[in-house]
Structure 1
Amino acid sequence: MCSILRKSKHPKKADETTFMMRNGEILLEKLIASSKGKYNPIRSFSVEEVKTATNNFKVQNVITKDSLNEFYKGFLHDRQMSVMKYSDNSLDAYEYCLTNVVFAAQMRHKNVLKLIGCCLETQTPILVFESVKDGSLADRIHRHNKPNFEPLLWTCRLKIAMEIANSIAYLHVGFPRPIVFRNIKLSNILFDEEHVTKLFDLSLSVSIPEDKTYINDMVVGTFGYLAPEYLTSSCCDERCDVFSFGALLLELLTGQRITDRFSSEMGDEEYYLRDHVKKHIENNRFKEIVDPVIVGDGLCNDKEQQLQAFTDLAIECSSKSPTNRPTMVDVAKQIRQLYLSCNS
C-alpha cells in the first residue's frame, strides 16, 4: 500500500495533497480491516495521468455507465487500461468507491476485472483497471442496432454464464467471510481482448459478518434483479446473488430485459419476464420465448434439451423462496456440464 502513498515526482496543489493523504489513510485502514493485509499491489496514478489516459474523460471513450460511475477506455505509457470515475452528483459515491477498491484489491480470479491502481488526488478516488473491449454484455444482448453488433450464439452465452457463475461462486466461498456481490446485471459484465468474461464493479458488495449467515443492510441494486426477501426485510445473503443470477440467465435465454412487461393474450393481465417464461413453458410454447439469435435456422434435439435445462436452472435460481434456490457452486457445476455437452 505504500506505493499508493509515495510522493509524486511533480509538485501537487494543496487540495490534491490533502485528498491524497486523507484517501490513502482511510483506504489503508479499510483494506487492512477487510483483508487482514492480504491484498494485491496497487499502483498510484496522478490526476494528470488519468486525464491523459482518457483524453480528459472524453465522452467517446465511455465503455459503460450507470448512476454511480462512468467507465472509460484509456491508454497510457503504451498500455491499454480502463478508468472508473464516480459521479460527483452521488452523495454515496465516496463510500461506494472505497468499497470497490477494498474488495477489488482482494480478487484473484480470471473472471473478475483486475484492479491495477487508483488516483487518490481527487475528492473521490479514480480507479484504474485492466483493459476491456468496448461495450458490456447488455450491449451484446439488447442493443442490436449498435455499430458492429456481433450476435451472441448459444455456445457463447453458455460460456459467459459459466464464467460469471464461477466468479460469483468464488466470491461466496473463496474468502473467510462470504462476499455478496449485490449488483449482478448484464451491464456489469465486460470482456477482454481474448473474449474472457469479466465481472466488475464491487461498489455495492458486502461481506457477511463473522458468526452470521446474513447481513441486514439498506436495499441497493437494480430493480428486477433484487430478491423478494431482500426487498421486504433488508436481509441479504448469498441467495440474493443466486436470484439475481437467475434473472441474468433469463435475459441470456430470451434476449429480453428482466424489467420488460408482457400482457396475456386476453390483455387482462401483465407480468414480468420470469412469469412470462413460465407461462410459455406451461403452455408447451417454450420455443417462442427463446431469443431468435439462438434459434437461428432451427433447434436440434440436443440443443433444445440444453435450452430446457438452462431454463429450468434459471427458474430455480430466481425462485421467490430462497430455500428453493441452489448454491452458486451448484449452479456453476450445472452450467459447466451444459457447456461441456454443447462442445462434445
Structure 2
Amino acid sequence: MNYTCPKNSRCVCDDVDNGVGYRCKCMDGYHGNPYLNGCRDINECEDANLHDCKQNCINTDGGYNCSCRKGYHGDGRTNGEGCSPNRTLVVQITVGIGVSLLALLMGSLWFYLGYKRWKLMKLKEKFLRKNGGLMLQQQLSERQGSTHETAKIFTAEELEKATNNYSETRIIGKGGFGTVYKGILVDGRVVAIKKSKMVDQSQVDQFINEVLVLSQINHRNVVKLLGCCFETEVPLLVYEFVTKGTLFDYIHNTSKATKSNNSWEIHLRIATETAGVLSYLHSAASVPIIHRDVKSTNILLDETLTAKVSDFGASRLVPIDQAELSTMVQGTLGYLDPEYLQTSQLTEKSDVYSFGVVLVELLTRKKALSFDQPEEERNLSMYFLSALKEDRLLQVLDDCIVNEGNIEQLKEVSNLAKRCLRVKGEERPTMKEVAMELEGLRRMVIHPWVSNEANSEETESLLGGISMETISCGGHGDSSSGYDTMRNHIMLPVNDGR
C-alpha cells in the first residue's frame, strides 16, 4: 500500500474508529508537524542531554557525530573509547613547560645578578667618594709628569684575589689600626696589604695628601707604598713586602735571633737607620710628617736586617706654619709620649720619645710593657731611667751586647735614650740630633780609629780637634781610656742637657 508522508517523516499504522488507518511521524533526529511545516532536523549538539560526545559534537542531518580535539584520539563518546591525549603532545607540552620555566629562571637569575652588580658598583662608587678616592685620582693624574713613581690605585677584586679573599692564613700582622695580609699580585710581586679598622672622615684630605707624599718618598729605610684601594668600606694600602718580620720579633723572639746576628753593631745600625728615617720625615720631607706610632713592631727588617719604618696609618702631616697639632691621642701604651698624653698637642718630639723607648729595647731586649714582671719593671722606660739614676745600668743591659766590651759606648747610647725620654718635649733632642749622634757612634764601631794622617781631618771635624791618639774603641781593656776621653769631649751635652 502506498502511503504519502512528507520528507523526513514515516508512516505509522493506526486505528481510526476501529478501522485501519495510518498517520505520519517525524523520523528520529527530526521534529515538527509533518503535515504543516514538515520535519526539521534536531541539533543534538546544542543540548548536552541529547548527545554523548566527550569533546567535540558535530551535528548531521538527522543525527550527530562525535570527534576528539587535536592531539587526542578515540571515538569521542563518553560511553565508548572516549578521547585520550596523544603521547607526542604530552611530551611537547612537558618540554614546552620545562623550557618556559627554565627561561623564566634564567631570566630571573640574570636580572638578580645584574641588580647585584649594579648595587655593588654603586657601593664601590660610594666608598670611592667617601674615602677620597676621586680626589686622589685627580691628584695622581696631575702628577703623571712627575719623575717620582706615584701610587697605583688597585681594584677591590685585585686585592681580594691577591689575598685569597683575605684568608686568615695570609695574616702577617695585626695592630691597633688594622690587619696586614700577605698578597701575591697578578704579576707575581709579593706585597703587604694593610686593611684598616676605621677611617676618620674629618681627616680624608690629610689622608690623601699623606698617601701622595709617602708614594713619592724614595728612602731606602721606609717601606715603599705601592698603591691603595678605595672601593672598600675602609681604604686598603699596598706596601712592599719585607721578609724578616718586625724588629719586635727580632729582639724578643729568641727562636728568630741568634747570638751571632744580635750583635751590638747590628743593633746600633738598626737604631741609626730608624733615627735617620724619622729625621728625614721631620725635617727633609717636602711636608713634615709626624709618625705618631713609632714602636718596634712598626720597624721591619729585610733579608740583610736593614730597618724599614712602616705603618703610617696614624701619621699626620704638619703644616709649614705650625709647630704642633691638636689631635685625639693615638699611639701604643709603653711608647706614648706622656706630654702628648696630657695635652693632646702632637709635636715632632712625640716621635723622639717613642724612639727613645725603641732604643731602650735594643739596649735591654726587654719589652716596652711587661705585665708579668714585678711592678717596678713593668714599664721599660721608667725601669730604665731608674736604673740609670741608681747607677745600675749594667743590670738592665742585654748580656749579649755587654759581653762584647762596648761598655762606654753603651753608656753613651743609654744617655742618649735618657734624653729622648725626658718628660718635657722641649728638653728632648730633635731626631736630626739623635740621628747624627748615633751615626757618629756607629762610624766608630765600623771604623775603629787608627793613628794615621789619612783620617785625621775627618776625626778633627767629628770630634772638634781631639787627637787620634786619645781615642780607641776597638775592643776590651785599654779601650776604656779612649772612651773616657771621647765622652768628656762629645757627650758633655748628654749629661748637662741640650
Same fold? TM cut 0.5: yes
> What is the identity, as a one-letter code, of the residue corresponding to 1:41?
T
Aligned residue number for residue 244 of structure 1: 354
Matched, 1:226 2:336: yes
Alpha-carbon shift at residue 16 of structure 1 (Å): 2.9
The range that moved more, 307-316 or 227-236, is 227-236
Question: CA separation of 1:236/1:21 partners in 2, compared to 1, >3 Å: closer, same or farther?
Answer: closer
Question: CA separation of 1:226/1:30 partners in 2, compared to 1, >3 Å: closer, same or farther?
Answer: farther
CA contact (8 A) 1:74 1:82 kept: yes
CA contact (8 A) 1:115 1:129 kept: yes
CA contact (8 A) 1:16 1:122 kept: yes
List per-residue Cα deviations over 1:190-238 (Å, max 9, x = no partner).
Answer: 1234432111111111122332221111111111212222111111111
Aligned residue number for residue 3 of structure 1: none
Larger relative contact order (Cα-Cα within 8 Å, sequence gap ≥ 6): 1
List per-residue Cα deviations over 1:108-142 (Å, max 9, x = no partner).
Answer: 21111111112232122221111211421111112
Question: CA separation of 1:229/1:124 partners in 2, compared to 1, >3 Å: closer, same or farther?
Answer: same
CA contact (8 A) 1:99 1:202 kept: no
Work out which of the residue numbers 393, 402, 415 in structure 2 matches 1:286: 393
Could you say what secondary structure the match of 1:105 adopts? helix
Work out which of the residue numbers 175, 180, 183 in structure 2 matches 1:74: 183
TM-score (norm 1): 0.82
Supply the distance in 2 between the matched residues of 1:62 and 1:134 (Cα, whole angstroms). 15
CA contact (8 A) 2:288 2:320 kept: no
**Between the two proteins, what is the percent identity of the paired residues?**
34
CA contact (8 A) 1:93 1:124 kept: no
What does 1:1-344 correspond to in 2, within 5 Å?
13-20=121-128, 23-28=132-137, 40-76=149-185, 77-87=187-197, 90=198, 92=200, 98=208, 101-145=211-255, 148-150=256-258, 152-260=262-370, 263=374, 272-295=379-402, 298-300=403-405, 303-344=406-447
CA contact (8 A) 2:367 2:380 kept: yes
The range that moved more, 122-131 or 188-197, is 188-197
What 5-or-longer segments of structure 1 have no aligned partner? Answer: 1-9
Could you say what secondary structure the match of 1:41 adopts? coil
Supply the distance in 1 between the matched residues of 2:225 and 2:149 (Cα, whole angstroms). 9
> What is the identity, as a one-letter code, of the residue corresponding to 2:446?
N
Question: CA separation of 1:282/1:41 partners in 2, compared to 1, >3 Å: closer, same or farther?
Answer: closer
List per-residue Cα deviations over 1:269-314 (Å, max 9, x = no partner).
Answer: 676322322333344432221123324xx242xx111111111100
Alpha-carbon shift at residue 143 of structure 1 (Å): 2.6
CA contact (8 A) 1:138 1:187 kept: yes
What 5-or-longer segments of structure 2 have no aligned partner? Answer: 1-116, 448-498
Supply the distance in 2 between the matched residues of 1:286 and 1:333 (Cα, whole angstroms). 24
Could you say what secondary structure the match of 1:331 adopts? helix
Question: CA separation of 1:78/1:208 partners in 2, compared to 1, >3 Å: closer, same or farther?
Answer: closer
Supply the distance in 1 between the matched residues of 2:356 and 2:339 (Cα, whole angstroms). 15
Supply the distance in 2 between the matched residues of 1:331 and 1:84 (Cα, whole angstroms). 30
Could you say what secondary structure the match of 1:135 adopts? coil
CA contact (8 A) 1:68 1:93 kept: no
> What is the identity, as a one-letter code, of the residue corresponding to 2:316?
V
Runs of 4+ in 1 over 6 A off after TM superposition: 29-32
Alpha-carbon shift at residue 102 of structure 1 (Å): 4.2
Question: CA separation of 1:30/1:317 partners in 2, compared to 1, >3 Å: closer, same or farther?
Answer: farther
Supply the distance in 1 between the matched residues of 2:384 and 2:280 (Cα, whole angstroms). 29
The range that moved more, 121-130 or 310-319, is 121-130
Supply the distance in 1 between the matched residues of 2:422 and 2:374 (Cα, whole angstroms). 21
Supply the distance in 2 between the matched residues of 1:233 and 1:29 (Cα, whole angstroms). 37
Question: CA separation of 1:135/1:150 partners in 2, compared to 1, >3 Å: closer, same or farther?
Answer: farther
CA contact (8 A) 1:316 1:324 kept: yes
Q: How large is the Cα RMSD of the aligned pairs?
A: 3.0
The number of residue pairs the alignment matches comes to 320
Could you say what secondary structure the match of 2:226 adopts? strand
> What is the identity, as a one-letter code, of the residue corresponding to 2:385?
K
Question: CA separation of 1:206/1:110 partners in 2, compared to 1, >3 Å: closer, same or farther?
Answer: same
> What is the identity, as a one-letter code, of the residue corresponding to 1:15?
L
The range that moved more, 23-32 or 69-78, is 23-32
> What is the identity, as a one-letter code, of the residue corresponding to 1:292?
D
Aligned residue number for residue 6 of structure 1: none
Could you say what secondary structure the match of 2:368 adopts? coil
